[in-house]
């Protein structure tokens, strides 16, 4: 409401100024809209709007973020099909990459080496995409943190995603590696704990990813990392 009212007041002020400039250019002295009281009132309102506008924009952005989080939670609670469906992993990964923030994709090179022919698996597509996305978001954060601390541009920043299928053991593997900050040795055992985080986030990303992969898909999630040398997530999923 504040932004809507502010727009109306600013439009009125600009309209008066526009009429005044038009009259001055045409030397139309009789039609110059000079109302000292009204002009002073509009200027006072304009100053108030200028002072309050940054706060209003900030509040609006926070509201949008909260709505986004709520939408994500609702989607997670209602993940679509109740039964597993047959889906090939390369397609699922391609669709997951599309969901990543465009700003991150413009800064960080995401390379994929996907096995051919694609081996389909039975899965919950939304849940599995959500799990992979959480791992990728962790990689993006780690890369941003590492390259910022090194005072370097992210020109060499990269995430590698590869897939392979072992038909003898009836498993498919997804490897996600990055050249980010890595995980310090003293916190490796805590990374799957709910709400544990070293960043300004909820600390649920890897907890959810592990639950989706290990509980909902009977697979495994292994994180290998060396501090300041990057991280690799190894996802292993059964073919049937």
Residues 94-128 pLDDT 10s: 989 988 888 888 888 999 998 777 778 999 988 89
Residues 39-48 pLDDT 10s: 666 666 667 7
The distance in angstroms from the start CA to the end CA of the chain is 54
Q: Provide the token pair at 58.
A: 């900030």
Q: What global pTM score does this model have? A: 0.64
Q: Rounded to an integer, what distance in angstroms lies between the CA atom of residue 212 and that of residue 226?
A: 25
pLDDT of residue 195: 78
Strand 85-88 vs strand 109-113: parallel, antiparallel, or unpaired?
Answer: unpaired
- Does residue 153 carry a pLDDT above 60? no
Mean pLDDT of all residues belonging to the chain:
78
pLDDT of residue 69: 59
DSSP-derived secondary structure for the chain: -HHHHHHHHHHHHHHHHHHHHHHHHTT-GGG----HHHHHHHHHHHHHHHHHHHHHHHHHHHHHHHHHHHHHHHHHHS-S-SS-EEEEHHHHHHHHHHTS-HHHHHHSEEEEE--SS--EEEE-HHHHHHHHHHHHHHHHHHHHHHHHHTT--GGG-EEEEEEEEETTTTEEEEEEEE-S----GGGGGGTTSTT--SSSS-S-HHHHHHIIIIIISS-EEEEEE-TTS-EEEEEEEE--
């Amino acid at each position: 409401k504040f932004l809507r009212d502010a727009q109306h007041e600013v439009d009125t002020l600009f309209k008066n100024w526009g009429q005044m400039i038009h009259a001055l250019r045409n030397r139309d002295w009789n039609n110059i809209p000079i109302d000292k009281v009204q002009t002073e009132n509009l200027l006072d309102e304009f100053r108030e709007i200028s002072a309050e506008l940054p706060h209003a924009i900030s509040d609006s952005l926070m509201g949008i973020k909260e709505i986004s989080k709520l939408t994500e939670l609702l989607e997670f609670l209602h993940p679509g099909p109740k039964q597993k469906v047959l889906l090939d992993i390369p397609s699922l990964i391609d669709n997951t990459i599309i969901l990543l923030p465009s700003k991150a994709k413009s800064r960080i090179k995401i390379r994929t080496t996907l096995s051919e022919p694609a081996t389909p698996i039975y899965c919950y597509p939304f849940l599995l995409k959500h799990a992979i996305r959480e791992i990728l978001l962790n990689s993006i954060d780690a890369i941003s943190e590492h390259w910022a601390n090194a005072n370097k541009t992210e020109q060499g920043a990269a995430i590698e995603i590869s897939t392979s299928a072992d038909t003898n053991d009836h498993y498919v593997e997804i490897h996600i590696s990055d050249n980010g900050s890595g995980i310090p040795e003293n916190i490796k055992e805590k990374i799957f704990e709910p709400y544990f985080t070293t960043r300004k986030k909820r600390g649920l990303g890897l907890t959810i990813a592990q639950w989706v992969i290990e509980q909902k898909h009977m697979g495994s999630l292994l994180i290998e990392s060396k501090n300041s040398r990057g991280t690799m997530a190894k996802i292993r999923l059964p073919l049937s």
